[in-house]
Amino acid sequence: MLPGDPLFTMRSEGWSEIKSWLLSFSHYAEVLETEKMRAEIRDDLTALLTRYQD
C-alpha cells in the first residue's frame, strides 16, 4: 500500500462473499489483514494461474 492510497474497512458476516467481491477487483485490491485471509486469496490466485499456464 502506498501513501495516499485509499483504505477500505468493513465488517461482514461471511468471508466467501467478500473474497469473491475482492477477486473481482483483480490486481487493483489488496487484502491487508488477516494473514489467513491473505493466504486464501494467494492460494486461489495460484490455482487460477496454474490452470491457465501452458
Crossing angle for the helix pair 15-23 and 35-52, to the nearest 10 degrees: 50
pLDDT value, residue 36: 95
Summarised one tens digit per residue, pLDDT across range 1-54 is: 788 888 888 888 889 988 999 999 999 989 989 999 999 999 999 999 999 997
Q: Give residue 52's pLDDT.
A: 93
| 11-50 burial: b if 16+ Cβ within 10 Å, else e | eeeeeeeeeeebeeeeeeeebeeeeeeeeebeeeeeeeee
Does this model's pTM top 0.85? My answer is: no
Residue 41: what pLDDT?
96
Give me the pLDDT at residue 34, please: 92
DSSP secondary structure code for residue 13 in this structure: S
Count of positions (residues) in the chain: 54
